[in-house]
Amino acid sequence: MSLRYDEVFSDLHTAVERVQAHLQQEIEARTNEEVAALCCLQLAVHEWMGNLVRHAQFGERFPEVHVRVWQQDGQLRCAIEDNSEGFDLDEQLKLQERETPIHALPEGGMGLRLLQSSTERAEYGPVSEQQNRLDLSVSLDE
């Protein structure tokens, strides 16, 4: 599989639609082994993009989101950079575990857990004073 996607968006809703459409096209063009990894990545990306739409704070800035997807070393990788105010992903996951009992799901609190469980790697943090990046990876071997 050779997969490459790189696009910058200023409209979050357009970003959600275009990225999902692209990943869906990739899924439809692949073999069974590759489809599972692409579906996991698509699920994680959709959850993250939805969270940007619903929760991201951009202050006085216009939103800017840069989405890249590629294949490297037996992994599907995705980097989503945004200029939001950001948040602490690890702290938010810990907070959700304490405050959202599993029996309360799926009404709320499941999204970040879903993102974490559908990928081998999901790391988010600042890359500069006004830029954050989510790095995702999914193994093609499983």
The tokens for 142 are 């499983």
Tell me the CATH number at 41: 3.30.565.10
Q: What whole-number distance in Å separates Cα of residue 62 and Cα of residue 71? A: 30
Domain that holds residue 78: 4-139
pLDDT of residue 112: 74
Are 83 and 131 within 8 A, CB to CB? yes
Number of domains in the chain: 1
33-83: pLDDT as tens digits: 789 999 999 999 999 998 899 888 898 999 999 999 999 998 999 999 999
pTM of this prediction? 0.85
pLDDT tens-digit map of 1-22: 678 999 999 999 999 999 999 9
Q: How do strand 75-82 and strand 121-128 relate by DSSP bridges?
A: unpaired
